[in-house]
């Protein structure tokens, strides 16, 4: 069984999801604006949220990495999720992140994504990670750019069509 670490930043704990996160996560996933560019592009109901939670935890066992719950160190609130997403049919691991709408504009996505990326580079030795970002998702694009990712083009593969943003590990050169 894979032990999920807890990462700490100045303001955040990136920790394993717990069953007690379900209600807060269901509220986040029920928000149409939060879900606009994620998964099905529509709010998820409670049953779908439970399945996603199971999937997020299961990926840790299958791949050794996955999503962290983003928790405010000051309040204990669940702010969202960030980590490495790698469905079976995606060409490479994705650095993915999402912050609940009430917490937008405070730099939490940038802080969490940078911490998850540093951990993944250090722990797994990935030479690069990618972020698949919808062309209309300017918030996520700004977050990716703020932590040093560069847009490399468009990816269209099966169920996915998005901008391809590349995060290179330290010492792995510049993006072409």
CA distance linking residue 67 with residue 60, whole number of Å: 8
What are the structural domains, with CATH classification, of the chain? Answer: 7-168 (3.40.630.30)
C-alpha R_g of the chain: 15
CA distance linking residue 106 with residue 174, whole number of Å: 29
What confidence tens digit (pLDDT) does each residue in 129-172 have? 999 999 999 999 999 999 999 999 998 877 778 999 999 999 88
Q: Is the separation of the CB atoms in 112 and 97 below 8 Å?
A: yes
Of 37, 6, 165, give the one whose Cα is nearest residue 92.
165
Of 121, 160, 21, give the one whose Cα is nearest residue 81.
21
The three-class DSSP label of residue 48 is helix
What is the value of pTM for the model shown?
Answer: 0.94
Q: For all residues of the chain together, what is the average pLDDT?
A: 94
What confidence tens digit (pLDDT) does each residue in 6-40 have? 999 999 999 999 999 999 999 999 999 999 999 88
Backbone angles phi, psi at 175, to 5 degrees: -70, 135
């Amino acid at each position: 069984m894979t032990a999920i670490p807890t990462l700490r930043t100045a303001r955040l704990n990136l920790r394993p999801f717990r069953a007690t996160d379900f209600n807060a996560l269901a509220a986040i996933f029920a928000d149409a604006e939060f879900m606009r560019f994620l998964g099905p592009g529509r709010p998820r109901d409670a049953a779908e949220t439970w399945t996603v939670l199971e999937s997020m935890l299961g990926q840790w066992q299958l791949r050794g990495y996955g999503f962290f719950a983003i928790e405010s160190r000051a309040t204990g609130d669940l702010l969202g999720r960030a980590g490495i997403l790698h469905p079976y049919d995606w060409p490479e691991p994705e650095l993915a992140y999402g912050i609940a709408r009430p917490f937008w504009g405070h730099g939490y996505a940038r802080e969490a994504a940078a911490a998850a990326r540093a951990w993944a580079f250090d722990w797994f030795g990935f030479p690069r990670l990618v972020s698949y970002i919808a062309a209309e998702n300017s918030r996520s694009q700004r977050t990716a750019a703020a932590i040093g990712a560069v847009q490399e083009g468009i990816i269209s593969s099966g169920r996915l069509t998005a901008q391809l943003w590349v995060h290179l590990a330290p010492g792995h050169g510049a993006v072409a």
